Amino acid sequence: MNAKPWVLGLIIFAGSLNTALADSCRSNIFDGQDCSYDDGTTSTSRANTFGGQDTTYSDGRRATSRPNIFGGQDTNYSDGKTSTSRTNTFGGQDTSYSDGSRSTSRSNIFDGQDTHYSNGKSSTSRSNIFGGQDTRNY
């Protein structure tokens, strides 16, 4: 299984929360990722029957994603919000959120993503030796 699309989805998903971005993620035995965030929270995701990921956060939040026809993911969050992403020409994804915010990512030379958010924030990720991504937030 190619992990890149759902790792990218997870990074973009984490960015959509606007409360924490992944500092470090690693692959787990559930075909998902275990992540630690800069606010002290953690998350665990696992593959679901829709071909996406079910993610549970240490603060009680949850999200479920599934692939869509645009090469991205449709994600439903436990607080009722949703997001839809689609692949773009830069090797990344353009994501729209139900609250009106947006993000755009592009692949970088570190086998990761550079992401810009409509709130003016940005992040850069790079692959790590644990099958995940390390992310710096700006």
Predicted TM-score of the model (pTM)? 0.81
DSSP string, 60-126: S-EEEEEE-TTSSEEEEETTS-EEEEEE-TTSSEEEEETTS-EEEEEE-TTSSEEEEETTS-EEEEE
Does residue 15 register a pLDDT over 90? no
Q: Which two tokens stand for residue 43?
A: 């998350």
Which pLDDT value is given to residue 19?
46
pLDDT tens, residue by residue, 27-57: 999 999 999 998 999 999 999 999 999 999 9
8 A C-beta contact, residue 122 and residue 6: no
Convert the pLDDT of each residue in 68-78 to its tens digit.
999 999 999 99
Give the total number of structural domains in the chain: 1
Which domain, by its residues, includes 53? 4-137
Determine the 3-state secondary structure of 35 from DSSP: strand
